[in-house]
A and B are shown apart, each in its own frame.
Chain A
């Protein structure tokens, strides 16, 4: 089945530094990828939609200058957390949709990466 990978799986950094997280679709092309953030015992919250070849779309309240997204190819999207602070510590997960054909319209499922645990000291 479709596989999405993320690298690194965990990272610890000092406050003020930048961290880059990679999300790759391994056996399919993804023109769209999604970045989510999950705090402990909370649901996944959508941060942004990454679009290949164009600018990302950010959800309300997510700073685009702080969370830089680059979708340079059909299999790779990167999220860079710039000037990280302890409050940015979280579990970051990417996903890519796979279309499912149905009798009534199209729908999709999403394949998620394994997540990246970011800890900012």
Chain B
């Protein structure tokens, strides 16, 4: 069956360290994969999108990689700050078609302590 899994439910790190979150998928062949941030009681906010022909994407302190062979995406936050504490969701479009619904992982809740 098709699955999208974020292996760690929770990740606790110290301020200044790099947080690495993992997203694995099975029985999908996504043309692109997305990462969102969700704060408690709020809707998700888009962070980054990476396409299958891109190995890596960066945005400020964020970096996403996409390995279609391993069927895995890694999401890194460098020089983490307490304000980065939130739940991070990976998502993909099963239909591989723009404008269609996304499937989400359960998310990894990141806690950055000062």
Contact = CB atoms under 8 A, between A and B. Distances in A.
B16 to A, nearest CB: 28
Interface of B: 31-32, 34, 36, 41-46, 49, 51-53, 89, 93, 98-107
Contact of B98 (A108, A113, A114, A117): A108
Given A46-B101, A95-B43, A107 B89 contact: no
Nearest to A104: B53
Interface of A: 4, 6, 32, 34, 41-44, 46, 49, 91, 93, 95, 97, 99-100, 102-115, 117
Contacts of B106: 41-43
B49 A107 contact: yes
B53 A106 contact: no
Contact of A115 (B36, B43, B98, B104): B43
B101 A99 contact: no
A49 B104 CA distance: 15
B49 A112 contact: no
Contacts of B105: 43
Given A97-B98, A102-B32, A107-B32, 10 more contacts: A42-B106, A91-B41, A97-B100, A99-B99, A104-B51, A109-B49, A110-B46, A112-B43, A112-B45, A114-B43
Contacts of A111: 46
B31 A105 contact: yes
A44 B104 contact: yes
Given A107-B32, A115-B42, A97 B99 contact: yes
A107 B43 contact: no
